[in-house]
Amino acid sequence: MTPDLFAAEPTPAERAAELRAQLHHHAHRYYVLDAPEIPDAEYDRLFQALQAIEAAHPELLTTDSPTQRVGGKILDGLVPVRHAVPMLSIQTETDTTAGGAEAFDARVRRELGLAETDPAVEYAAELKFDGLAINLRYEHGVLVQAATRGDGETGEDVTQNIRTIGQIPLRLNGEAPAVIEVRGEVYMRRDDFEKLNERQREKGEKTYINPRNTAAGAVRQLDPAITAQRPLSFFAYGLGEVRGWTLPDTHSGLLDALAAFGLPVCVDRCVAQGAAGLVAFHAQIAAKRDALPFDIDGVVYKVNSLALQRELGFKTREPRWAVAHKYPAQEQLTTVLAIDVQVGRTGKLTPVAKLAPVFVGNVTVTNATLHNENEARRKDVRVGDTVIVRRAGDVIPEVVAVLPEKRPEGATVFTMPHTCPVCGSAAVREEGEVDHRCTGGLFCGAQRKQAILHYAQRRAVDIEGLGDKLVEQLVDADVVKTLPDLYRMGLMALANLDRMAEKSAQNVLDALEKSKHTTLPRFLFGLGIRHVGEATAKDLARHFGSLDAIMDASEEQLLEVNDVGPTVAQSLRTFFDQPHNREVVEQLRACGVHWEEGAPAERAAQPLAGKTFVLTGTFPKLKREEAKEMLEAAGAKVAGSVSKKTDYVVAGEEAGSKLDKARELGVAVLDETGMLALLSTA
């Protein structure tokens, strides 16, 4: 049967409905199942197509449209919402030992009138998330309202803000009830929280105390655009009002049903038999608590049978059929004994509070990071202060707040030192940066391993066989203290290291000898000067022709180099103004490290100056690195991604998304032959 070539085009309403269904499906795959079926660019294309239809036909805009996630108008205030079914709290069991689970099971058995010989009670055991409780009201499958718990009877309408959370479906999957209120927790993952705080620190703005408070504050924002910028997540765990739906027989079955509706339900749950099952679950989660990607402060036990839940009923405002079983707190009070400054592998200076030992997050904490001088001053942490320390999972312990009322008299404000505490080099903070850094990269003991690895990497002088483990041994054994020491090593010094046979040692020495003949750009890049990458090193070498000319160039002369701005120029001058850095360079040359030097490049010899290329795929004759060097030698810039500023994409075999992006943007595409032809005529 042949297709109907004259079939009618879908109407805007049909196309909008189709796009909404596709976007709901793909959002669920991405946010809930973590198993996307299409790339982000394709999702964006579908989203933009729906936006265009809704802009042209405003009457087709629906409340469950994915385009409504991007925010709404700023509110004057949050409107109260009366809960159809109260959002009650559950009893907390503060005994963090196995006895807490056993006590709850004993109470349940007593209330049900069970004898010791009667079978074990079946429970649903799940996590107690550390976030903000939310009630989501769906009518005929569409999210119509979201409200906070409030006092349990009345909450606040936060619908606009909740729509911005990708994990929360705007429309439920399958045949949804006439009304179903889903209850759950809005929270923030630890990694998302750390990234958010890192962005705040980079901008020099205040950081947030913990994920729970940050999530709660984001949900209650009056401007949904601000909420949309906060990385929030959600787990469903219960119900409020329900109409037109027959509930499952068990709580575990209820959670399965919510998952089938497309709602995110935590997989860390189980059906447990009696007190022994609860104790085992509590211990199992305690063991993996630090590995969870989000904070919890306990687990929750619920009688699994909904019929037995109704039989047990409530005691004042708490159900008799559920309890929260706590874990030790992840925030504690302690005292700051001192503030030290540590130097990282890349030269970053970090103030660290030395603390009176305190047990928090299942470990004894004696140090906590203050991140940088701005952060230490914003929190106003001083020696002698009583502070709140937080440790959650594998996150480095940090001071989150000070109790100023407990501050001793005479406590002084912290100030970052002007010299590196390890090597004495100048410690500087570049304009627009929040971190202080040691400028003695080649000389500083704290940066020794990083400096050697950077110098030895393939894109620098390329010392084959000099990897992390060997560098670790060489530095720890004091065989190598500065880069020139690499070329002074003898065979026995290497062969005496652990797991280093004489043949392997000779191979390393041969690689070191080979590395002595390099190029000026590779050597310059290998010095690890801040902000000087491969492309900048090549531009500097091409412009000045010799290392001495680069070392002696003024900031004004450096600014004449292609793509060198004030930050790079200042970084170069700071580096070469340190006498010990110059000494290391001279010693490397004395050890035989050399390269060909030439005259400064003429502007006319840069036929592709100002042109940006992107390479993708495998070429028949050239390696990618060779093609890159040829283009850069002609003055071109070789970028890693395609944008509107790209002039050419050079595509080989198995070219991927970069080729697609080039076609989408109308960027000129060349093959290897076309690139070589362009170079020959340029």
Question: Taking Cα atoms as reference points, which of 47, 372, 36, 62 lies closest to residue 203?
Answer: 372
128 carries an active-site annotation? yes
Q: Do 312 and 321 form a contact (C-beta atoms < 8 A)?
A: yes
Q: Which amino acid is at 43?
A: Y
Compute the half-sphere exposure of residue 345: CA atoms within 13 Å on the CB side of its CA: 9
Question: Taking Cα atoms as reference points, which of 533, 484, 523, 344 lies closest to residue 427?
Answer: 344
Coil, helix or strand at residue 533: coil
Contacts of 519 (CB under 8 A, 6+ apart): 541, 595, 596
How far apart are the C-alpha atoms of 231 and 439, rounded to whole Å? 36
Q: Give the strand pairing for 154-156 and 179-187.
A: unpaired
**Among 73, 128, 206, 644, which one carries the catalytic annotation?**
128
Alpha carbon 569 to its chain centroid, in Å, reads 31
Contacts of 370 (CB under 8 A, 6+ apart): 339, 350, 351, 352, 353, 376, 379, 381, 398, 399, 414
Give the residue carrying structure tokens 């429970």.
Answer: 123
How far apart are the C-alpha atoms of 527 and 517, rounded to whole Å? 15
Coil, helix or strand at residue 199: helix
Q: Length of the chain in residues, anyone? A: 682
Give the residue carrying structure tokens 């091409």.
Answer: 542
Q: Do 260 and 173 form a contact (C-beta atoms < 8 A)?
A: yes
Residue 547 has a CB neighbour count (10 Å cut-off) of: 19
What does the block give as tokens for 273? 């038999």
How far apart are the C-alpha atoms of 421 and 344, rounded to whole Å? 11
Q: What positions carry a catalytic annotation?
A: 128
